[in-house]
Amino acid sequence: MSSWQARVFSRAIRALVRREDWGAEAALVARARRVLGAPRAYGYLATVGLSRRSVRTRAVRGEWLVPRRPRRGVVLYVHGGGFVSCSAATHRPITAALARLARRPVFGADYRLAPEARLPTAHEDVADTYRYLLDAGIPASEIALVGDSAGGNLVLSLAVQLRDRGEPAPACVVAFSPWTDLRGRSSSMGGDDDRCAMFHPGNRHDFAAAALGRGDPDSALVSPVHAALHDLPPVLLHVGSTELLLDDATRVHDAIRRSGGACTLHVFDDVPHGWQMLHPWMPEATTSLRETVSFIDAALARARSAGDGVCGEWTVGGIARRSASRFFLSWRRRRRTTCPGPTSVAASARVGRHRLRPRADAMASSVATHLMFTGDASAALELYAAVFPDFRVERMERYGAGDVGAPGTVRRADAVFGQHRFVAIDSPVKHAFSFTPSMSIFVDCDSAATLDAAFARLAEGGHVLMAIADYGFSQRFGWCTDRFGVSWQLNLP
């Protein structure tokens, strides 16, 4: 039996939202954008205590919500709204709750809405957002996809697209009341006509027509229930027992299980569509979100233990990554930050009163390719060239008009130094966390002289990022990053 809170909210939603006829397309879209999603003030209050940063590029739009002391892993959240309404901002009650409960950064993705941009435009935008996270240096095994309603459609479809294209799959997929059949053949369409608190069966056809235009509702891309659902990441489905979308979820669950995949379905008794938005006021909303977090925790742990070639701890923006044998530290005057990316270095240097001494065989374990993330790739290349005479840039990409970086500045650079290859990336994630755009990179120092040059640069006002290749020092102390308070363990003699 549902809680009294669920019954009260269902009655309120039935009175305020449910209509048998939403009108013609223009009227339907206008009303959907007016009544669906959380009010602006409520969404703003939901983010109190979280760091919030917007991302706006030609290909990607959305916002980061980051808790204090974030853990490994990232949640990519895709909002619902019938493909015609809502945004990352209207779904902050869910994304903020996930950020707090999971203690992980959550990226709320925006996508172009119909009827201005018909499907499958939204699917293309979500795929671009996923690649944005990968390009920012986040391994696929550290990403959890979550979406509700139309967003559940989008995350399931994305998982299928990634499998078909041979691209890296996320750690897991979570879909709240996913709308997976735009044709509307679900058996729950008729059985729950009077019980669904938010929609009449005919509303689905009207929303689908607005989203598709003349598109094919039976396409596997826009209706993932018709796709081949084998070889997907673990999937969690939550749906209400009285929702029109009940059968959409159960059909996907059955198809995944028949194909030998891992899928968990939880049917909540008599809750309104999108009930997760009502956390913490409805017990079922809190239960759903906590189950989601537990599922994500387990999926991320399995993905890491499976060994995808990435060891250690990855982060987004100022969330530190720690590797078993090498990690980054960034020194700035009056402020300390961290930045993700693998490298190696054998060096000895003094930081304040501490002297860092890696083992003599540290360079023996170094890798031939290094991936660096910096706030200013141009400054990083300049510093490299000044210190290493045989450092050579092979290819360079620059930002264009409308990109997240300043037009003309370096976006990515491929370079060589002896037997080592480097890929320097001006990470757009820095904008989401107020990283200084003047922070530059200095890595793979193999002598005290090169480190002296780095600290001379630091003394002149530059910002130097150094990697220490050895993790075998005898003593440890905590090193805290600037605004996020992430605790580090730095080994010292």
Which residues participate in catalysis according to the annotation?
149, 243, 273
Rg (CA), the chain: 25
Assess contact for 98 and 106: CB atoms under 8 A: yes
Residue 477 buriedness (CB in 10 A; 0-12 / 13-18 / 19+) = exposed
Q: Which residues have a Cβ under 8 Å from the Cβ of 270 and sit 6 or more positions away? A: 1, 2, 6, 7, 10, 195, 240, 241, 242
User: Quick one: which of 102, 199, 114 has its CA closest to 142?
Assistant: 102
- Give strand pairing partners of 52: 65
User: Quick one: which of 175, 176, 174, 172 has its CA closest to 298?
Assistant: 172
How many angstroms separate the first and last alpha carbons of the chain?
61
3-state secondary structure of 475: strand
Q: Which residues have a Cβ under 8 Å from the Cβ of 459 and sit 6 or more positions away? A: none
H helices present in 36-69, as ranges: 40-46
